[in-house]
Amino acid sequence: MSPWSAARAALRVYAAGAAVILAQLLRRLLGGFAEPVCARQPGRVAIVTGGTEGIGLATCRRLALLGMRVIIAGNDVTKGHQAERSLRAETGNPEVEFSYCDLASMRSIREFVLKFKERNLPVHVLVNNAGVMMVPERQETADGFEQHFGVNYLGHFLLTLLLLDTLERSGRPGAHARVVSVSSATHYVGELALDDLQSRNGYSPHAAYAQSKLALVLFTYHLQALLDARGSPVSALVADPGVVDTALYRHVFWGTRLVQKLLGRWLFKTPDEGARTSVFAALAPELEGAGGRYLYGVREARSLALTYDRQLQRALWAQSCRLARVRDPATDSIPE
**Is residue 188 flagged as an active site residue?**
no
How many CA atoms within 13 Å lie on the side-chain side of 104?
14
Closest CA to 41 of 284, 288, 322: 284
The residue from 209, 221, 294, 296 that is catalytic is 209
Pair 273, 282: CB distance under 8 Å: no
Task: Return the active site residues.
Answer: 209
